[in-house]
Amino acid sequence: MNIEDETQLSKLEVQIDEIQGKSSLWQKVITTIKDHISLEEMIREQNYKPMSKEEFFQMAEELEIKESLEDLFAQLD
C-alpha cells in the first residue's frame, strides 16, 4: 500500500491500536517473546524430530547437485 498523507497514516495507526486493544484474536495470533528459553524447551514446543544421517544423505542424493562445493559456496557471495 502506498499512503503518503501523514494524517491518513495517523488515523490508520489509531484504528490499528483500537483493534489490537479490543481483539482477543489479536492476542491469540500474536505471542510474546520469551526472555529466556532453553534448547530443550524449543525442541519440545516445536515438536522437533531429528533426521538420521542416512535420511539426510538420501535426501541430498535425490537433489542431484552437479556443482562442486566450491562453486556452491561462491554463489553465496
| pLDDT single digits (tens) 46-70 | 899 999 999 999 999 999 999 998 9
Residue 31 has which C-alpha cell? 505471542
What local confidence, expressed as pLDDT, does residue 62 receive? Answer: 94
Dist CA 14 CA 30 (whole Å): 18
Q: Which residue would you say has higher pLDDT here, 50 or 32?
A: 50
What local confidence, expressed as pLDDT, does residue 57 receive? Answer: 93
Average pLDDT over all residues of the chain: 83
